[in-house]
C-alpha cells in the first residue's frame, strides 16, 4: 500500500507512521519549514481550535494541491468546511481515525484531479475530428472554433486561416444562441482588414486571441470572447487556449499541403489533356467540354463531390491512350480498315495503363478503361453490358458522343446540339445507358450545361 505523507499543523496528537500515513509536524502554517513540507505532502491535518478558521482557509488557498483535514469540535465542523477543509475529524480523535480520514480525502482529491485532467484532455482529443479528410477549410475552422468555445467556456469563437493559395481569408465561427451553437463561416478579402481601426475592441480580459503557428510560420488565428457580464478568462483557460492553438495548427498545415497536392494534380491533368489534344486542331477543348458534361450528368445522378472530381479527371484524360496511336490513323479522313480500327481501339487499355502507372485513382482508371463499352454489350475493350459497365464509364460514353457530334472530327461534320441529343435518344438503351441519357437531356434543358459552339465554326473541321 502507498504511504501517504501528511503535514500536521498545530497541536494534533499524532506523529510517525499510522496505517500507511506518515505524519510530520511543523511549528507554523506559513513558515519556510511548512512550505518545504507542503511541497511534498499528500495532505495536511490542521487543528482548527489552535489555528483558527482563517489559517485553515489560508492553507487551503495557498496549497490547493494539498487537501486539508481539520480537527474540529462538532459545533465547528461547518465552519471548518466553509474554510476549505476537505475532511473533518472530531476530537477526541486518535491517530487511526485521522489516518483513515486522510486516506479518504486524498483518494477523493485524486479522483477530482483526474476528472479535471480528463476535462482538459477531452477537447484536445476532439481535435482529432479536425482531420481535413474532405479538404474543406470551412469545415475544419468551424469545428476548431466550436472546440475552442467549449474548451474555455466562451460565448463566441472564431478561427481564421491564412491559406497562401487563397485570395481570401477563411473564418470559422461558433457562437452560443440560446442553448444551441450556431456555426458558420465567412470569407474576408485581406485588403478590407486594413480598414478596421487598431484596438477597436478593448481587451478587458474577456477576449483572448492566439496565433496558430506551424514551424515558426503563422497559419491562422483563434479568438474567443465572453459576454461583458461574465468573468474574464483566467490564466488556466489562456494556457489551455495556447495548447489548443499548437495542436490545431497541424490540421491546417495538412489542409494547406492537401490543397497544394490537389493543385499539382489538377495541373498535371490539364497538361496531359493538352498533350493529347496537340496533334489534332479539332480536339482543342474537347476534354474540357466533355468533362463538364460528364460532371453535370454525375451531379444529376447524385454522385458525391469526390466522385465528381474523379469524373472530371477521367473526362479530361479519357483519351490519353491516344498518345500511343499514330497520327496517321487518328487523323485519317476516310473510314478505317478493320485492322486500323483494332489499333485505335487499343487506346482505352493504353489510357488505363498510363493512368494506373501515374498513380491515378482506381475509379479514374476503370472509367477510362471502359469509356467505349456499350449498354448493349457491343462495345470495347471487354464487351461489358448494362450495369456491368461502371457508371462513370457510362457517363463518359454519353458525354464523349455528344461532344464529338457537336464539334465534329476530321472524319465527320458537326451536327446541331438538338440533332446530337436526338441521336443520343435514338441510342438510348442500345449504345447508351437510358438513365444517363435522360440525366444529360435534363441537364441540357435546365441550362446546367451549354453546348459550346464549336459546331458553328464548322469550316475546316475535316
Ligand atoms: Fe476514346
Domain ranges in the chain?
A: 4-120, 131-193+204-257, 278-457
Rounded to whole angstroms, how far apart are CA atoms 108 and 267?
A: 62
Q: How far is the CA of 447 from the centre of ligand 1 (A)?
A: 26
Rounded to whole angstroms, how far apart are CA atoms 30 and 47?
A: 14
Name the pLDDT band for 425 (thresholds 50, 70, 90).
Answer: very high
The per-residue pLDDT for 192 is 42
Q: How far is the CA of 344 from the centre of ligand 1 (A)?
A: 9
Q: How far is the CA of 264 from the centre of ligand 1 (A)?
A: 25
Q: How far is the CA of 319 from the centre of ligand 1 (A)?
A: 5
Which is it for strands 207-214 and 87-89: parallel, antiparallel or unpaired? unpaired
Q: How far is the CA of 283 from the centre of ligand 1 (A)?
A: 12
Which is it for strands 16-18 and 4-9: parallel, antiparallel or unpaired? unpaired
Q: How far is the CA of 353 from the centre of ligand 1 (A)?
A: 14
Q: How far is the CA of 272 from the centre of ligand 1 (A)?
A: 15
Q: Which three cell numbers stand for residue 395?
A: 457517363
Q: How far is the CA of 382 from the centre of ligand 1 (A)?
A: 14
Give the pLDDT mean for 214-239.
81
Q: Do domains 131-193+204-257 and 278-457 have the same CATH topology?
A: no
- Residue listed under C-alpha cell 494534380: 265
- Note whether 443 and 449 are within 8 A (CB): yes
Q: How far is the CA of 386 from the centre of ligand 1 (A)?
A: 19
The per-residue pLDDT for 131 is 62
| Level-2 CATH architecture, domain 131-193+204-257 | 2-Layer Sandwich (3.30)
Q: How far is the CA of 444 from the centre of ligand 1 (A)?
A: 22
Name the most confidently modeled range: 30-39, 278-287, 372-381, 451-460: 372-381
Name the pLDDT band for 449 (thresholds 50, 70, 90).
Answer: confident
Q: How far is the CA of 459 from the centre of ligand 1 (A)?
A: 24
Burial of 401 (0-12, 13-18, 19+ CB in 10 A): buried
Q: How far is the CA of 369 from the centre of ligand 1 (A)?
A: 9
Q: CA of 378: how far to CAs of 71, 277, 375, 404, in Å?
A: 95, 27, 8, 19
Q: How far is the CA of 359 from the centre of ligand 1 (A)?
A: 20
> Residue 59 above 90 pLDDT?
no
Angle made by CA atoms 68, 70, 74, in degrees to the nearest 5: 150
Q: How far is the CA of 429 from the centre of ligand 1 (A)?
A: 20
Give the pLDDT mean for 56-67.
82
Q: How far is the CA of 316 from the centre of ligand 1 (A)?
A: 11
Q: Tell me the pLDDT tens digit for each residue of 4-56.
A: 988 888 777 777 788 888 888 876 666 656 666 766 788 988 888 888 888 88
Q: How far is the CA of 456 from the centre of ligand 1 (A)?
A: 23
Q: How far is the CA of 262 from the centre of ligand 1 (A)?
A: 25
Burial of 418 (0-12, 13-18, 19+ CB in 10 A): exposed
Rounded to whole angstroms, how far apart are CA atoms 1 and 353?
A: 68
> Residue 282 above 80 pLDDT?
no
Q: How far is the CA of 317 from the centre of ligand 1 (A)?
A: 9
Q: Which residue has the higher pLDDT, 85 or 170?
A: 85
Q: How far is the CA of 401 from the centre of ligand 1 (A)?
A: 9
Q: Which residue has the higher pLDDT, 10 or 87?
A: 87
Q: How far is the CA of 307 from the centre of ligand 1 (A)?
A: 20
Q: How far is the CA of 73 from the centre of ligand 1 (A)?
A: 95
Average confidence score pLDDT of the chain: 81
Q: Which residues of 350-370 are buried (b: 16+ CB within 10 A; e: fewer)?
A: bbbbbbbeeebbebbbbbbbb
- Which three-class secondary structure state does DSSP give residue 96? helix
- Note whether 127 and 244 are within 8 A (CB): yes
| Of the listed ranges 330-334, 346-350, 396-400, the one predicted with least confidence | 330-334
Rounded to whole angstroms, how far apart are CA atoms 391 and 257?
A: 31
Q: How far is the CA of 457 from the centre of ligand 1 (A)?
A: 23
| Level-2 CATH architecture, domain 4-120 | 3-Layer(aba) Sandwich (3.40)
The per-residue pLDDT for 198 is 39
The per-residue pLDDT for 123 is 65
Q: Which residue has the higher pLDDT, 171 or 368?
A: 368
Q: Tell me the pLDDT tens digit for each residue of 363-386.
A: 999 999 999 999 999 999 999 999
* 18 strand-pairing partners: 21
The per-residue pLDDT for 380 is 93
Alpha helices in 331-450 (DSSP H): 338-357, 362-369, 391-407, 417-426, 434-445
Helices (H) and strands (E) in the chain, counts: 16, 11
The per-residue pLDDT for 108 is 93
Q: Which residues surround ligand 1, an ion (CB under 5 A)?
A: 319
Q: What percent of the chain has pLDDT over 70?
A: 81
Name the pLDDT band for 168 (thresholds 50, 70, 90).
Answer: low
| Level-2 CATH architecture, domain 278-457 | Orthogonal Bundle (1.10)
Rounded to whole angstroms, how far apart are CA atoms 106 and 91?
A: 20
Give the pLDDT mean for 417-438.
95
Q: Where are the beta strands (DSSP E) in 179-267?
A: 180-188, 207-214, 217-225
Q: How far is the CA of 320 from the centre of ligand 1 (A)?
A: 8
Rounded to whole angstroms, how far apart are CA atoms 102 and 114?
A: 18
- Note whether 150 and 157 are within 8 A (CB): no
Q: How far is the CA of 372 from the centre of ligand 1 (A)?
A: 6
Q: How far is the CA of 290 from the centre of ligand 1 (A)?
A: 11
> Residue 177 above 60 pLDDT?
no
Q: How far is the CA of 315 from the centre of ligand 1 (A)?
A: 10
The per-residue pLDDT for 409 is 76
Q: How far is the CA of 292 from the centre of ligand 1 (A)?
A: 16
Q: How far is the CA of 423 from the centre of ligand 1 (A)?
A: 18
My answer on whether omega of the bond before 462 falls inside 30° of 0, hence cis, is no
Closest alpha carbon to 283 in 291, 270, 274, 292: 274
Q: How far is the CA of 397 from the centre of ligand 1 (A)?
A: 8
- Which three-class secondary structure state does DSSP give residue 422? helix
> Residue 336 above 70 pLDDT?
yes
- Residue listed under C-alpha cell 480500327: 341
Q: How far is the CA of 318 from the centre of ligand 1 (A)?
A: 6
Q: Which three cell numbers stand for residue 423?
A: 441521336
- Note whether 247 and 127 are within 8 A (CB): yes
Amino acid at each position: 500500500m502507498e504511504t501517504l505523507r501528511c503535514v500536521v499543523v498545530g497541536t494534533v496528537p499524532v506523529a510517525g507512521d499510522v496505517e500507511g500515513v506518515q505524519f510530520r509536524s511543523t511549528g507554523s502554517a506559513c513558515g519556510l519549514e511548512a512550505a518545504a513540507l507542503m511541497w511534498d505532502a499528500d495532505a495536511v491535518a490542521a487543528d482548527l481550535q489552535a489555528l483558527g478558521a482563517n489559517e485553515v482557509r489560508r492553507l487551503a488557498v495557498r496549497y490547493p494541491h494539498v487537501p486539508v483535514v481539520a480537527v474540529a469540535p462538532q459545533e465547528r465542523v461547518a465552519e471548518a468546511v466553509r474554510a476549505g477543509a476537505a475532511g473533518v475529524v472530531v476530537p477526541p480523535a486518535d491517530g487511526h481515525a485521522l489516518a483513515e480520514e486522510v486516506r479518504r480525502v486524498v483518494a477523493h482529491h485524486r479522483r477530482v484531479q483526474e476528472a479535471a485532467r480528463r476535462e482538459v484532455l477531452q477537447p484536445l482529443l476532439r481535435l482529432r475530428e479536425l482531420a481535413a479528410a474532405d479538404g474543406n477549410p470551412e469545415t475544419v475552422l468551424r469545428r476548431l472554433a466550436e472546440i475552442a468555445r467549449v474548451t474555455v467556456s466562451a460565448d463566441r469563437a472564431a478561427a481564421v486561416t491564412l491559406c497562401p493559395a487563397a485570395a481570401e481569408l477563411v473564418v470559422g465561427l461558433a457562437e452560443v444562441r440560446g442553448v444551441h451553437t450556431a456555426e458558420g463561416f465567412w470569407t474576408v478579402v485581406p485588403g478590407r482588414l486594413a480598414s478596421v481601426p487598431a484596438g477597436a475592441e478593448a481587451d478587458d480580459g474577456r477576449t483572448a486571441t492566439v496565433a496558430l503557428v506551424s514551424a515558426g510560420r503563422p497559419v491562422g488565428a483563434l479568438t474567443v470572447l465572453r459576454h461583458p457580464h461574465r468573468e474574464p478568462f483566467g490564466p488556466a483557460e489562456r494556457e489551455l487556449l495556447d495548447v489548443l492553438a499548437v495542436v490545431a495548427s497541424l490540421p491546417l498545415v495538412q489542409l494547406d499541403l492537401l490543397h497544394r497536392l490537389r493543385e499539382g494534380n489538377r495541373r498535371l491533368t490539364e497538361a496531359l489533356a493538352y498533350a493529347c489534344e496537340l496533334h489534332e486542331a479539332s480536339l482543342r477543348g474537347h476534354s474540357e467540354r466533355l468533362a463538364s458534361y460528364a460532371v453535370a450528368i454525375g451531379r444529376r445522378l447524385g454522385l458525391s463531390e469526390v466522385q465528381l472530381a474523379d469524373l472530371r479527371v477521367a473526362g479530361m484524360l479519357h483519351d490519353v491512350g491516344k498518345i500511343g496511336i499514330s497520327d496517321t490513323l487518328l487523323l485519317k479522313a476516310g473510314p478505317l480498315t478493320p485492322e486500323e480500327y483494332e489499333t485505335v481501339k487499343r487506346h482505352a487499355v493504353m489510357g488505363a495503363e498510363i493512368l494506373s502507372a501515374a498513380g491515378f485513382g482506381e475509379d479514374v482508371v476503370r472509367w477510362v478503361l471502359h469509356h467505349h463499352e456499350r449498354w448493349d454489350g457491343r462495345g470495347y475493350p471487354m464487351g461489358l453490358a448494362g450495369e456491368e459497365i461502371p457508371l462513370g464509364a457510362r457517363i463518359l460514353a454519353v458525354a464523349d458522343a455528344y461532344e464529338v457530334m457537336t464539334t465534329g472530327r476530321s472524319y465527320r461534320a458537326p451536327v446541331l446540339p438538338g440533332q446530337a441529343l436526338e441521336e443520343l435518344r435514338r441510342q438510348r438503351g442500345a449504345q447508351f445507358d437510358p438513365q444517363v441519357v435522360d440525366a444529360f437531356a435534363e441537364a441540357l434543358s435546365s441550362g446546367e450545361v451549354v453546348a459550346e459552339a464549336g459546331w458553328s465554326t464548322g469550316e475546316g473541321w475535316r
